[in-house]
Amino acid sequence: MAMRLLIGEIHLGFLGKTNWLEFRFLPLIQVLLSRVNFFGSKEDISTEESLSLQSYRQTSEIFLCGLLPESPTATSQRTADGLVWVNQWNPFQYSVASSFLAVVYSDYMLSSQTSNLYCSGKLYEPTELRNFAVSQLDYILGNNPMEMSYLVGYGSRYPQQVHHRGASIPVNANSNCSDGFKWLHTRHPNPNVAVGALVGGPSLSDTYMDSRNNISQSEPTTYNSALIVGLISGLITSSSQVESFVKN
């Protein structure tokens, strides 16, 4: 039922319609449904529905070609140092999600023995999608112009004023809800380290202002954390290990 709804009524897979500003859900749905095109479905699918699934895969590949920096259709929406950057508010949600999808699609390719991704006359192997993902993760973990890790608690230098109430208010403080503002505005580092939190990320110029009031850059989110866990898990897991559940 859900499959028929997606491929028969909600036409999200139109070729060429990938919109970076609609990144919050469209590419994720397209890549997920590409899996069905790679490996088939337990449900009976008509010819028309099969063509719809093919369009999801084609649109996914347009999106993925845009991620590869050497691709003829590489997106210009990235910083000078190579981070995919779409929006000033929590920019890491886009770069980490892009990387996660690149790893997922590379596993689809390897498991289905699909040798290449075709990008406007150039061919790219699955390993090149993974290399892109590694480059984004390396940036996040410290290989960037700020020479800092954006994953709190990782490395010797990371954000000290994360916009996080639990991190900024002392454990033994006797306070009510409104008292939190006095810690919000202090210039002191957070008394508690929010280990594992991924902040919003840098500006388009690869700069970062470590301030609790700089919410667009310093606020961590659960969806950022979920994405980076998925990304790291995908990168440390070989295709042969995931082949069994990709096909089932």
CA 10 – CA 75 distance, rounded (Å): 26
Backbone angles phi, psi at 221, to 5 degrees: -135, 155
| Helix 126-140 × helix 47-67 angle, to 10° | 50
- Of 196, 202, 199, nearest in space to 83 by CA: 202
Report the catalytic residues. 163
- Of 116, 84, 98, nearest in space to 230 by CA: 98
Instruction: Give the rounded distance of the alpha carbon of 29 from its chain centre.
Output: 14
- Helix %, strand %, coil % for the chain, to 5? 50, 5, 50
